[in-house]
């Protein structure tokens, strides 16, 4: 579930601050939120700053300038980030922001290293060492661009209690997608492992996954979490579903949730139940998309199903 966090310095890492230009009054503005293992901060200082973070021991860190040029040093190597070029820091190594210019706007992102490790292991079907990523990341093209856009979307919705990201059914898969995008953008080993781990899941794994979905469709399942429960890689489960059922795991999950929503629409009292509450009960955060998917599946809008006459035995 997305959670707005109040304390900037303690959320990311403990650090020392040094104001480089003391002729200006010091102030900082930030909005920070967490979705499980992903923390995103939209941060601005009103004076030139130096920030000494020492060791980033618990996660990867990505800095994406929206405007301004951010200079840093990680493991003794100088780095420069600017719009279109982010910097990435590994979980170990002394890190210093040598010059954070006044009025710069930076998206600061922390990815829990344990979650990155689990995502990597789930994707390739085995435990592998965490990748040591390059410091420079092009966010204008390819997976880097996708990652930046996802994080900008997250940032734009910080503090919005009505956002779908406040629903764990949305927040958990979103956080997992962010980590997958990060690995695709930064780790060639991850790209090669995912591309090579393509053997279709055995039918027993597919059956196990469908049983899990049928038993608990309300849970925030993702392809990766289903794969982990079935002891196969995410890509293998994806191919297994396509081969044996003709749909992806997430498409199958949506079909089950639509079916359960229809059962509730037919059974609930229209005087007290609403389409919105039933849709949200089964993980559909966007009512218009739910209505369109429901109409495609059942040939009528959910409101009509809810208002249909009840047959009394």
Same domain (yes/no): 227, 296: no
Confidence of residue 9 (pLDDT cuts 50, 70, 90): very low
The answer to whether 30 touches 6, Cβ cutoff 8 Å, is no
pLDDT score for 283? 87
The yes-or-no verdict on residue 83 having pLDDT over 90 is: yes
pLDDT score for 202? 63
* 233: DSSP letter: -
Q: What is the CATH number of the domain that holds 276?
A: 1.10.10.60
Gyration radius from the chain CA atoms = 23
Q: How far is CA 181 from the centre of its chain?
A: 9
Same domain (yes/no): 90, 226: no
Same domain (yes/no): 97, 31: yes
In a domain, 162, yes or no: no
Same domain (yes/no): 266, 141: no
In a domain, 277, yes or no: yes
pLDDT score for 156? 81
pLDDT, tens digit, for every residue of 126-141?
677 788 888 899 999 9
**Number of domains comprising the chain:** 3
Same domain (yes/no): 69, 207: no
In a domain, 169, yes or no: no
Residue 216: helix, strand or coil by DSSP? coil
The answer to whether 305 touches 260, Cβ cutoff 8 Å, is no
Same domain (yes/no): 288, 212: no
Q: What is the CATH number of the domain that holds 11?
A: 2.60.120.10
Same domain (yes/no): 151, 13: yes
Q: What phi and psi, each to the nearest 5 degrees, are found at residue 267? A: -100, -30
Please state the pTM of the whole predicted model.
Answer: 0.65
The yes-or-no verdict on residue 84 having pLDDT over 90 is: yes
The yes-or-no verdict on residue 75 having pLDDT over 90 is: no
In a domain, 176, yes or no: no
**Alpha-carbon span 27 to 10, nearest angstrom:** 17
Same domain (yes/no): 26, 48: yes
Same domain (yes/no): 96, 24: yes
Of the ranges 127-141, 177-191, 220-234, the best mean pLDDT one: 220-234
**Alpha-carbon span 231 to 76, nearest angstrom:** 40
Q: What one-character-per-residue DSSP string does 15-80 give?
A: -EEEES-TTS---EEEEEEEETTEEEEEEEESS-EEEEEEE-TTEEEEEEEEES-EEEEETTEEEE
Instruction: Please report the sign of the dihedral spanned by the C-alpha atoms of residue 208, residue 201, residue 187, residue 44.
Output: negative
The yes-or-no verdict on residue 12 having pLDDT over 80 is: no
Q: Which two tokens stand for residue 122?
A: 């789930």
In a domain, 66, yes or no: yes
pLDDT score for 7? 40
The answer to whether 63 touches 138, Cβ cutoff 8 Å, is no
How many residues are present in the chain? 313
Same domain (yes/no): 288, 149: no
The answer to whether 182 touches 142, Cβ cutoff 8 Å, is no
For the chain, give the mean pLDDT: 84
Domain that holds residue 128: 2-156
In a domain, 185, yes or no: no
The yes-or-no verdict on residue 146 having pLDDT over 60 is: yes
Same domain (yes/no): 49, 112: yes
In a domain, 177, yes or no: no
In a domain, 96, yes or no: yes
Confidence of residue 98 (pLDDT cuts 50, 70, 90): very high
Same domain (yes/no): 46, 148: yes
Percent of the chain as helix, strand, coil, to the nearest 5: 45, 25, 30
Q: Which two tokens stand for residue 306?
A: 């809810």
């Amino acid at each position: 579930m997305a959670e707005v966090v109040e304390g900037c310095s303690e959320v990311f890492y403990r650090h020392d601050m040094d104001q480089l230009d003391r002729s200006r009054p010091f102030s900082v503005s930030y909005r920070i939120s967490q979705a499980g293992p992903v923390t995103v901060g939209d941060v601005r200082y009103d004076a030139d700053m130096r920030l000494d973070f020492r060791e980033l021991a618990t996660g990867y860190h990505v800095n994406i300038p929206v405007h301004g040029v951010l200079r840093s040093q990680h493991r003794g190597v100088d780095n420069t980030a600017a719009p279109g070029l982010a910097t990435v820091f590994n979980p170990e190594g002394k890190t210093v922001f040598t010059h954070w210019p006044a009025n710069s706007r930076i998206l600061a992102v922390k990815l829990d290293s344990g979650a990155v490790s689990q995502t990597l292991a789930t994707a390739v079907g085995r435990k592998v060492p965490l990748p040591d990523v390059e410091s420079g990341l092009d966010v204008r093209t390819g997976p880097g661009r996708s990652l930046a856009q996802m994080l900008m979307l997250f940032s734009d919705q910080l503090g919005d209690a009505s956002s779908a990201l406040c629903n764990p059914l949305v927040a958990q898969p979103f956080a997992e997608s962010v980590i997958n995008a990060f690995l695709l953008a930064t780790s060639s080993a991850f790209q090669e492992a995912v591309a090579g781990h393509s053997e279709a899941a055995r039918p027993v794994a597919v059956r196990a996954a469908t049983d899990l979905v049928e038993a608990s469709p309300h849970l925030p399942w993702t392809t990766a979490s289903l794969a982990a429960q079935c002891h196969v890689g995410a890509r293998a489960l994806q191919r297994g579903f396509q081969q044996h059922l003709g749909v992806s795991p997430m498409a199958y999950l949506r079909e089950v949730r639509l079916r359960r929503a229809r059962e509730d629409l037919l059974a609930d009292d229209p005087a007290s139940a609403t389409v919105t509450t039933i849709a949200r009960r089964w993980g559909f955060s966007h009512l218009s998309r739910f209505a369109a998917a429901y109409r495609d599946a059942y040939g009528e809008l959910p409101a009509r199903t809810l208002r249909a006459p009840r047959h009394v035995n």
